[in-house]
């Protein structure tokens, strides 16, 4: 399995493991597993009870010691040490990235190992624990005092005197970006294109970057899954410091973020772009049903090939395609899965024997009315039934049954049971928990920004783009392509003490793959205004748009957008008239100095 790092002959750490990995661990001689990740943290996270059952089957001891990201407490460290003392090794401990597990190990060992040895050992395993050094040194001093005959009380007093946890950032950057997906990498590239000398860091725990727009094509048999992933190291813009950790919290009043191991990183300006959360657990039974009994979703890298497998094997029965309430990532993707499936069935001559149904929580087929007539012609061509106001609420995979809440005209709701042979499910989607629970969020949980400048309405040195921001645009990679240059221009203006000049018009694009070989290239902005990039009628299905979608867009994404090449994406700048208060920079954005007061920021 990938990512497993051996710290000692007794203990190894790893990122999130899956059910299939448990057998591999047993075969490699491990005797116990410690799960340090709370259930429900991530989209692709295997539930603890599933891992526990897998461990029992192969004779491994399994323990779940959940630790909250960014809040590794002394009690957590003590519990971890006590647990390891009871287990037979070798032991594997894991969390989302392995950072929490190695942090627990480091702090538990700091009583008798000097901090330099611990940091060096972690570094050899690929983990940078330099920000943990103050806590390690405090525990090392405490251990020395106790070994010299001191009491626990005197050791505690010494810890207090030496400031065990000051909350001061170990490092600080001109620009700190949370998220290394499309939005984070594109923003970093656009910023460094304009000002190469800035200190820019990206906080991102994953080591793989996904081209998610390609997953619908994988599910339709028109794209290879392996072409939608690249190592994160390859897509990080040149000149960026990659902090391989997860963000746990924001402390905007002190201009810093908290990482999952408790380390704090300071910033002069912050860009929030972690994407959104696929909330599978909002639909009862859906997470457990995925990947079995005909239940699939193109919204997951691992399941898009299963979609195509189901399409190829289906010769009759009922196929349900669902769409949850807005907002969601790529609002056209749920129906694109239906169109490509129907086209494949039509070509094979089996569509007449398949009942196709599109269950959408919305009241219209598409949010921009100009594109609906063309889409309706394809719905009629495929004989698909449209069920508006229909929200998926529960799934029983083995029984191949789904339950929907269907809105009545009088405002009531009926619970309707439907049988299926294939179910393509799209989950409800929310902002990540650490964003929803932060001071940056609005009532709906998204980072509250000005719709045009993409700057936080609460904090003048914070920006957001991509799926996590509150702007009412379509959540697509095409939107990010136009947002990144706007954020870059306005962020640099903020650093220089000037007003924001770049304006985002709400542009988004949804290439609706209505059949294999034809695409309706929907392009629009705020208020549903059509914003076509080319001189054609964008409401028509075109073969040229299919070529653009399948052949050119991956290159535009990887080789242009993520490299700061802003083809057809230059930001619109409004005229700027210097104001008297702009004669000097509006604030001192000096580096965050340990022990010093945070700078005042315009807009706070």
207-255 pLDDT tens trace: 899 999 999 999 999 999 999 999 999 999 999 999 988 999 999 999 9
pLDDT, residue 134, reads 87
- Note whether 288 and 206 are same-domain residues: no
Strands (E), 161-276: 171-178, 200-203, 208-210, 229-231, 240-243, 247-251, 256-259, 264-272
Domain closes at, from 138, 161, 184: 161
d(CA 413, CA 430): 23
pLDDT, residue 355, reads 98
Determine, yes or no, domain membership for 593: no
CA dist 555 → 73, 228, 423, 571 (Å): 45, 11, 32, 21
Domain closes at, from 404, 428, 452: 428
- Note whether 435 and 574 are same-domain residues: yes
Determine, yes or no, domain membership for 293: yes
* Span 413-453, pLDDT tens digits: 999 999 999 999 999 999 999 999 999 999 999 999 999 99
d(CA 516, CA 557): 21
- Note whether 298 and 415 are same-domain residues: yes
Element of type H or E holding 180: none
- Note whether 81 and 155 are same-domain residues: yes
Determine, yes or no, domain membership for 595: no
Enzyme catalytic residues: 330, 510
Domain closes at, from 114, 135, 161: 161
CATH code of the domain covering residue 72: 3.90.190.10
Determine, yes or no, domain membership for 530: yes
Taking the CB of residue 536, how many other CB atoms lie within 10 A of it? Answer: 12
- Note whether 270 and 418 are same-domain residues: no
**∠ at Cα 157 (152, 162), nearest 5°?**
125
* Span 115-149, pLDDT tens digits: 999 999 999 998 988 888 889 988 888 777 766 65
- Note whether 42 and 146 are same-domain residues: yes
d(CA 308, CA 360): 21
- Note whether 447 and 577 are same-domain residues: yes
- Note whether 10 and 116 are same-domain residues: yes
- Note whether 189 and 332 are same-domain residues: no
- Note whether 16 and 83 are same-domain residues: yes
Q: Locate 302 and state its tokens.
A: 């691992």
- Note whether 448 and 539 are same-domain residues: yes
How many domains does the chain contain in total? 3
pLDDT, residue 44, reads 76
Determine, yes or no, domain membership for 369: yes
Q: Pairing state of beta strands 264-272 and 518-524?
A: unpaired
Determine, yes or no, domain membership for 589: no
Residues of the chain with pLDDT under 70: 1, 146-170, 576-604
Q: Pairing state of beta strands 256-259 and 91-94?
A: unpaired
Q: Pairing state of beta strands 240-243 and 247-251?
A: unpaired
CATH code of the domain covering residue 317: 3.50.50.60
Determine, yes or no, domain membership for 262: yes
- Note whether 411 and 442 are same-domain residues: no
Which domain does 39 fall in, by range? 5-161
Determine, yes or no, domain membership for 591: no
């Amino acid at each position: 399995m990938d990512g497993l790092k051996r710290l000692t002959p007794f203990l190894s750490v790893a990122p999130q493991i899956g059910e299939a990995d448990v057998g591999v661990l047993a075969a490699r001689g491990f005797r116990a597993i410690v799960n340090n990740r709370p259930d429900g943290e991530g989209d692709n996270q295997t539930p603890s009870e599933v891992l526990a059952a897998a461990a029992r089957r192969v004779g491994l001891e399994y323990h779940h010691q959940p630790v909250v990201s960014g809040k590794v407490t002394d009690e957590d460290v003590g519990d971890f040490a006590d647990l390891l003392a009871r287990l037979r090794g070798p032991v594997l401990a894991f969390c989302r990235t392995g950072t929490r597990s190695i942090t627990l190990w480091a702090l538990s060992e700091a009583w008798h190992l000097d901090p330099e040895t611990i940091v060096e050992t972690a570094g050899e395993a690929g983990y940078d624990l330099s920000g943990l050094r103050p806590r390690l040194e405090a525990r090392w001093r405490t251990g020395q005092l106790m070994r010299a005959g001191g009491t626990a009380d005197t050791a505690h007093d010494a810890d207090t005197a030496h400031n065990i946890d000051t909350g001061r950032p170990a490092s600080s950057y001109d620009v700190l970006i949370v998220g290394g997906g499309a939005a984070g990498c594109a923003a970093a590239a656009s910023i460094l294109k304009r000002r190469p000398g800035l200190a820019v860091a990206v906080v991102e725990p994953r080591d793989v970057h996904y081209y998610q727009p390609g997953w619908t094509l994988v599910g339709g048999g028109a794209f290879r899954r392996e072409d939608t992933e690249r190592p994160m190291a390859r897509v990080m813009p040149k000149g960026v410091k990659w902090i391989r950790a997860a963000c746990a919290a924001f402390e905007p009043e002190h201009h810093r973020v908290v990482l999952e191991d408790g380390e704090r990183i300071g910033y002069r300006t912050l860009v929030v772009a972690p994407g959104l959360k696929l909330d599978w657990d909002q639909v009862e039974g859906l997470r457990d049903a995925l990947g079995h009994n005909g239940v699939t979703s193109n919204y997951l890298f691992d399941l898009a090939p299963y979609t195509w497998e189901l399409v190829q094997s289906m010769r009759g029965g009922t196929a349900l395609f669902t769409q949850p309430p807005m907002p969601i990532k790529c609002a056209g993707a749920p129906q694109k899965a239906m169109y490509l499936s129907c086209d494949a069935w039509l070509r094979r001559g089996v569509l007449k024997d398949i009942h196709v149904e599109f269950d959408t929580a919305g009241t219209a087929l598409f949010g921009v009315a100009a594109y609906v007539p063309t889409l309706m012609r394809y719905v009629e061509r495929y004989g698909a039934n449209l069920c508006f106001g229909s929200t998926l609420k529960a799934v029983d995979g083995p029984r191949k049954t789904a339950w929907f809440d269907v809105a009545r005209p009088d405002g009531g709701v009926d619970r309707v049971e439907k049988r299926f042979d294939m179910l393509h499910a799209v989950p409800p989607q929310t902002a990540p928990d650490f964003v929803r629970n932060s001071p940056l969020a609005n009532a709906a949980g998204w980072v509250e920004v000005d719709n045009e400048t993409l700057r936080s309405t609460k904090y003048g040195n914070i920006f957001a783009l991509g799926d996590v921001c509150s702007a009412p645009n379509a959540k697509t990679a095409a939107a990010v392509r136009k947002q990144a240059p706007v954020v870059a221009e306005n962020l640099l203006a903020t650093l220089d003490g000037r007003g924001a000049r770049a304006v985002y018009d709400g542009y988004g694009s949804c290439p609706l793959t209505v059949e294999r070989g034809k695409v309706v290239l929907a392009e629009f902005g705020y208020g549903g205004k059509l914003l076509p990039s080319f001189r054609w009628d964008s409401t028509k299905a075109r073969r040229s748009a299919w070529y653009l979608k399948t052949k050119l867009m991956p290159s535009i994404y990887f080789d242009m957008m993520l490299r700061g090449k802003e083809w057809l994406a230059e930001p619109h700048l409004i005229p700027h008239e210097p104001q008297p208060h702009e004669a000097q920079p509006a604030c001192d954005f000096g580096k965050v100095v340990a022990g010093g007061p945070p700078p005042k920021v315009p807009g706070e």
